[in-house]
Chains A and B, each alone.
Chain A
Amino acid sequence: MHELSMADAMVKTVLDVAEKNNATEVIEVTIEIGKLTMLNPEQLKFLLDVIVENTLLEGAKINIEEIPVELNCNICEYKGLADMDDSDHYLAIVKCPKCGERNVEITTGRECNVKNIKIEKEEEV
């Protein structure tokens, strides 16, 4: 269970940027999580809600966007989405959906990205 340390790293990243931009409040945070990371978005969201208490992020809307798995096939040169059954990581990383070959490289789906934030700040005079 490393959702807590990841949530902590995300909050630090957001607070750092928010403070540098003189935010008075963080309204919204968007995070991208690859479907192949060993992170559970529900657990992550729960932990984020807990650890933002008493920070600029308290009350912020947290959006978690899941990034689908894409692969490159080394045999037929297919590039694109993997076959992904939500309940089964195995399918996605085993086969090229086009030719069925197993020699594939995963290109997306392992992200854990703090994408952007929406903040409220004092108007500069």
Chain B
Amino acid sequence: MHKIADIEIQHDIMVANRKLAERNQKILDKANVFAVDVLGAIGSGKTSLIEILIQKMDHKIGVIAGDVISKFDAGRFEKYNIPVVGLNTGKECHLDAHLVEHAFGDMQLEDINLLFIENVGNLICPVDFDLGSHIRMVVISVSEGDDTVEKHPLIFKDADLVIINKVDIADAVGADQDKMVADVKQLNPKVKVIKSSLKTGKGLEEIINTIEEFMDNKS
């Protein structure tokens, strides 16, 4: 005899990821490491910004570099002789908490106090996946068009710090940088927005001070 049964499952995959993310944050806290999830589109300047921060910030920095099928970014960080783990996502368009937990296994967290986790270049998919970082920093550039915030609202809603990069070429590409700031503020009134040019150094001090403030407020 066969019978039919209804079974409640109620297993939310997002909640499962969030639980792993919370566990990651506990691991980081235990090792006294402050972690920044760095998100943004391809070519917005995420890797360049992290490279500069490695050189300018007075901390023991480590990087987890997420890429789809390459280790180019990890290679760029390794030349600074800091702990780097390249995370190859394979086909995936985002990092998730599970992948990051694996990366922790390849990194001596005791040797660092500030960790940048560079997400895959993408303004859409990473939104759904907390990694366990203490803040989310979104890096966009004026060359993506000044409607990029309106087109990808959720990533800005969840951000703690937004960098609008390459403002030195805003006029050349016809982008209204103040509109981009206003769009972010409309979505997320509490977020800190900084206009920067990594080429000229504009905004860099403010970015560093802001990350320091986040670190101070946490401890």
Contact = CB atoms under 8 A, between A and B. Distances in A.
Interface of A: 1-2, 4-6, 9-10, 13-14, 17, 21, 23-24, 27, 34, 36-39, 89-90, 93-94, 102-103, 106, 110-123
B2 A120 contact: yes
Contacts of B2: 24, 120-123
A1 B93 contact: yes
Contacts of A39: 128
A82 to B, nearest CB: 12
Given A9-B13, A21-B7, 10 more contacts: A1-B93, A2-B125, A6-B13, A14-B9, A17-B7, A37-B128, A114-B11, A116-B6, A121-B4, A123-B3
A113 B11 contact: yes
A37 B157 CA distance: 13
Contacts of A89: 153-154
B6 A118 contact: yes
B11 A119 contact: no
A4 B93 CA distance: 11
Main secondary structure of the interface of A (DSSP, over half): mixed
A34 B2 CA distance: 35
A112 to B, nearest CB: 5
A36 to B, nearest CB: 7
Q: Give the size category of B's interface with A.
A: 20 to 34
Interface string B1-30: 111111111111111100000000000000
Contacts of B186: 94, 102
Nearest to B152: A89
B187 interface: yes
Contacts of B176: none
The interface centre, meaning the residue of A9, A34, A93 with most chain B CB atoms within 10 A of its CB, is A93
Q: 7 closest pairs, A vs B, by CB? A: A123-B1, A113-B12, A112-B13, A112-B14, A114-B11, A90-B153, A114-B9
Interface in B55-92: 91-92
26 contacts: A13-B9, A13-B13, A17-B9, A21-B7, A27-B4, A38-B125, A39-B128, A89-B154, A90-B150, A93-B154, A94-B153, A102-B186, A112-B128, A113-B11, A114-B11, A115-B10, A116-B8, A116-B10, A118-B5, A118-B6, A119-B5, A120-B2, A120-B3, A121-B2, A121-B4, A123-B1
B157 A93 contact: yes
A111 B13 CA distance: 8
Contacts of B175: none
A86 to B, nearest CB: 15
B124 A38 contact: yes
Contacts of A10: 13
A121 B7 CA distance: 12
B153 A37 contact: no
B94 interface: yes
Nearest to B127: A38
Interface in B157-183: 157
B125 A121 contact: no
